[in-house]
Amino acid sequence: MSTLRIVYLLLAIWGAVHPMLYFHGWLAAHQFDLTTLLAAWTANDAVTGLSLDLVISAVALIVWILAEVAVRRNFGALWAVPATLFIGVSCGLPLYLFLRTRPV
pLDDT at 103 (0 to 100): 83
In the chain, the number of structural domains is: 1
Which pLDDT belongs to residue 13?
97
CA angle 58, 83, 41 (to 5 degrees): 50
Average pLDDT over the chain reads 94
Distance CA 63, CA 89 (A): 13
Whole-number pLDDT of residue 59: 98
Segments forming the whole domain that contains residue 9: 3-100
Per the document, the length of the chain is 104
Question: Which is nearest to 61 in space by CA: 48, 80, 74?
Answer: 80
Question: Tens digits of per-residue pLDDT, 6-35?
Answer: 999 999 999 999 999 998 888 889 888 888
Residues 6+ apart with CB under 8 A from 96: 61, 65, 77, 80, 84
